[in-house]
Amino acid sequence: MSKQKKFLLTEKDIPEQWYNIQADMPNPMLPPLHPGTKQPLGPDDLAPLFPMELIKQEVSTERWIDIPDEVRDAYKMWRCTPLFRATNLEKMLDTPAKIYYKYEGLSPSGSHKPNTSIPQVYYNMKEGVTKLTTETGAGQWGSALAFATQYFGLKCEVFMVKISYNQKPYRKLLMNLWGADVYASPTDITEAGRGILKLNPDTPGSLGIAISEAVERAVMDEHTKYSLGSVLNHVLMHQTVIGLEAIKQLEMAGDFPDIVVAPFGGGSNFAGTAFPFLRYNLQEGKKVRCIAAEPASCPKLTKGQFRYDFGDSVGMTPLLPMFTLGHNFVPAPIHAGGLRYHGAGAIVSQLLKDKLIEAQAIQQLECFDAGVKFARAEGIVPAPEATHGLAVVFREALKAKEEGTSKTILFNLCGHGHFDMTAYQDYFAGKLHDHHLTDEQLNYGLKELDKSIPIT
């Protein structure tokens, strides 16, 4: 018999609870601080931006949090997602390693992000919120939130970084199709936007500016709140449905991973995939290696500092304890737009500091080379972000071959690349190149950090 290719669960296998790793961390994370007073934040500080249930989840140390029935119902539209054995890729790489991948590109918006946009919109709706604002760079998060607000009947306002707005018309149209208003940021409808446009009318925009605009709109109206697609604890927790399903599916395959790999932007799909396995390390002494794959052009985990820093480039958000390149760091305009963020979520940062997870930085050409090989072997075109995880899988699979050991590797294929074909076009045309950061570039954002609070 040839090897089984995919491992499928039914709707009744959709997890009933999310896993909250805060219950099992040996060292709890440091508290977020108020940007003005530098004192730990209280729930009231966050109330203008988030509904109370999400604020509770943000600080909860309960190990398991119930997933509401309405959220599990919405999850049925694409969950459970399949787990594939990458049989063709194993053959292509001629490796003794067993490679499995969980495929999150089957969600309506094409990535893992609806796993959190659906519960976030649900809790907002329950607390009487009628409109959500957010920012988006490449458009993955904006479309996931537009899909979820459409589903639960809320309005949605997306501030899309101007350069992406012009470069990615199909992502914008997808958000419009799901009923969202999409603005090229900076706009003239916010104080923050008008201020920036006055100084620099031709600015291409940035995520930091778009965050400032979305936050300002939310604070101005009592029925409007703000939503974030990564970094925060509750976002990471919602994504654990990925790893919880994968555990069951690997059981069906009679396997358990030696290595778990996922690409890393702010940490949500990495956390969602790895934390349920990390639980076995923390509770039962297992030794699963969990590897986050980041771009060499934005290497906060491998080259950043563990410090308090702002989440946005303007300096409006709370100070978070994180591995960061500094909130002023300007990443190169790589095609993996979802990975161009200066900092890592607080939980992932603490776990990295405690050496409970690993990180590798990968250059762009190695990523696209792995992405094209994967598409040729397995058929699915990976999102540029996902190719970073793939590159690490290739490295580990080839290492297993050299060492002659059979490792079991689980990889999260967090999204498809159907909206990103210009990235592949540029790759084939030889227009992509690697980015070697100078010390000056690396220190640019970190210098600013001297003014914020060092962690001793």
Chain residues in the site for ligand PLP (CB under 6 A) = 111, 113, 140-141, 230, 263-270, 338-339, 383, 385-386, 414-415
Cα separation, 107 vs 270, in Å, equals: 17
Residue (95 or 133) nearer to ligand PLP, CB? 133
Cα separation, 133 vs 160, in Å, equals: 11
Shortest reach from residue 235's CB to ligand PLP, in Å: 7
Residue (30 or 414) nearer to ligand PLP, CB? 414
Shortest reach from residue 424's CB to ligand PLP, in Å: 15
Shortest reach from residue 265's CB to ligand PLP, in Å: 3
Residue (193 or 311) nearer to ligand PLP, CB? 311
Residue (74 or 235) nearer to ligand PLP, CB? 235
User: Using an 8 Å Cβ cutoff, are 222 and 326 in contact?
Assistant: no
Residue (140 or 206) nearer to ligand PLP, CB? 140
Q: Tokens in use for 274?
A: 């790895």
Residue closest to ligand PLP when measured from CB atoms: 265
Residue (341 or 400) nearer to ligand PLP, CB? 341
Shortest reach from residue 171's CB to ligand PLP, in Å: 11
- What is the SS3 assignment for 4-49? CCEECCCHHHCCCEEECHHHCCCCCCCCCECCCCCCECCHHHHCCC
Cα separation, 390 vs 24, in Å, equals: 29
Q: Of all helices (H) and strands (E), which one includes residue 159?
A: strand 155-161
Shortest reach from residue 40's CB to ligand PLP, in Å: 24
User: Using an 8 Å Cβ cutoff, are 310 and 316 in contact?
Assistant: yes
Q: Of all helices (H) and strands (E), which one includes residue 102?
A: strand 98-103
DSSP letter at 455 equals: P
Rounding to the nearest 10 degrees, give the CA dihedral for residues 373, 376, 378, 379: 130
Shortest reach from residue 238's CB to ligand PLP, in Å: 11
Residue (196 or 348) nearer to ligand PLP, CB? 348
Shortest reach from residue 269's CB to ligand PLP, in Å: 3
Q: Is the peptide bond before 186 cis (omega within 30 degrees of 0)?
A: yes
Across the strands, what pairs with 323? 306
Cα separation, 209 vs 409, in Å, equals: 39
